[in-house]
Amino acid sequence: MKVLAINSSARTGDVSKTEIVLDYLLQGMREAGADVTVVELRKKKIRCCIGCFTCWTKTPGVCIHKDDMTEEILPKYLASDLVILATPLFHYTVNAMMKTFIERTLPIALPFFEKRDGVTTHPYRHQAPPVAVLSVAGFPEESVFDALKFYVNFLFREQRLAAEIYRTSSEMFTRSSAGKKISDIRDALIQGGRELVSSMKICPETMDRIKKPMTDFEEMAPLGNLMWQTCINEGITMGEAQKKRLIPRPDSIETFLMLMRFSFKGNKAGNTRFTIQFNFSGQVAGECYFTIENGSIKTGSGQSDSPDLIIESPFEVWMDILTRKADGQKMFMEKKYTTQGDISILMRMGAFFGN
């Protein structure tokens, strides 16, 4: 099977969630024996359709533009057995690069009007290959893809729409993430690729695993908002923040505890059990604690019954240490914060939390 994957993401590598998700799908397709070619639209010169309809009359089937679409991509498109259109969701639909590509497939159609299933259409000049659509979106609800679903089902009604792969909460997706949720989605994408090659479809069970929610608004929004606010305060882009592995700076006890829960790596904690009590002073004053036990973390406000370590600190000092703006040991020597109990916990704690 000859597969052509068209990737319209402007990003690449580890920051492109379109590329990451597409790569897993293509891995499965290659494993199942497909001959896969990937075209990255950001590297190509594709001019906008100017609506001259030259391709419908003067040079039937051939566009007036002599660019990568005419010379390379359209011939590959027509020669493939399956096309994967992979796009980030921008403003609830395909991004501009993908839309430009789609408009430039006009030479495939004939100018004549026909009525099919009660709607006006243009018949195809060539047999067009089946298409699978893949899109990734930042928001957590699947309804974010409703407009795109409607669009592609209408657009490809004459062509076979072999699969629609929609992945929400895309920004939680990383190649290196070992989280259980992500590793199952990755395995399901690889499986989906194999199924596409063997049966030209993805079975409902595999699709449910691919689309499985990773988070919801309640979990995503506070952390996302904290990250955006940190970027604004630091005057850097989200991409720069990711490169620097910037830690979002909590601005309340709730966001501090949320960050601890979010960054906790249960698989690193083993049988470790301890409770740390924080008594914060200063602008954000209050008490809270977290307990690590059986590879999971529990957080609470107020006083814990039996803390192993108590930290008394101005909130801002602890947030400076947390976000690596200050050195924890130096701050301790300078008595910027004080501890009671098993201080060795502090030395070991870093290993249980990721960025």
Ligand X SMILES: Cc1cc2nc3c(=O)[nH]c(=O)nc-3n(C[C@H](O)[C@H](O)[C@H](O)COP(=O)(O)O)c2cc1C
Q: Binding residues for ligand X, per CB under 6 A?
A: 9, 11, 16-18, 88-92, 136-139, 144, 170-171
Q: Which is nearer to ligand X, 20 or 109 (CB)?
A: 20
Q: How far is the CB of 221 from ligand X (least distance, A)?
A: 13
Q: How far is the CB of 137 from ligand X (least distance, A)?
A: 3
Longest Cα–Cα distance in the chain: 85
Pairing of strands 35-40, 2-7: parallel
Q: How far is the CB of 87 from ligand X (least distance, A)?
A: 8
Q: Which is nearer to ligand X, 220 or 322 (CB)?
A: 220
Q: How far is the CB of 7 from ligand X (least distance, A)?
A: 8
Residues 297 and 264: beta-carbon distance below 8 Å: yes
Q: Which is nearer to ligand X, 18 or 70 (CB)?
A: 18
Q: Which is nearer to ligand X, 56 or 92 (CB)?
A: 92
Residues 53 and 103: beta-carbon distance below 8 Å: no
**Which residue in the block uniquely carries the two structure tokens 């309809």?**
53
**Which residue in the block uniquely carries the two structure tokens 């390379």?**
72
Q: Which is nearer to ligand X, 164 or 195 (CB)?
A: 164
**Torsions phi, psi of 287, nearest 5?**
-120, 140
Q: Which is nearer to ligand X, 28 or 140 (CB)?
A: 140
Q: How far is the CB of 236 from ligand X (least distance, A)?
A: 17
Q: How far is the CB of 147 from ligand X (least distance, A)?
A: 9
3-state SS, one letter per residue, for 243-312: HHCCCCCCCCHHHHHHHHHHHECHHHHCCCCEEEEEEEECCCCEEEEEEEECCEEEEEECCCCCCCEEEE
Q: How far is the CB of 293 from ligand X (least distance, A)?
A: 35
State the DSSP H helix or E strand holding residue 198, giving kind and residue range, or none if neither.
helix 180-199
How many Cα neighbours within 13 Å face the side chain of 284? 15
**Torsions phi, psi of 168, nearest 5?**
-80, 175
Q: How far is the CB of 220 from ligand X (least distance, A)?
A: 11
| Dist. CA 141–CA 152, nearest whole Å | 19
Q: Which is nearer to ligand X, 78 or 86 (CB)?
A: 86
Q: Which is nearer to ligand X, 10 or 346 (CB)?
A: 10
Local structure of 333: helix, strand or coil? helix
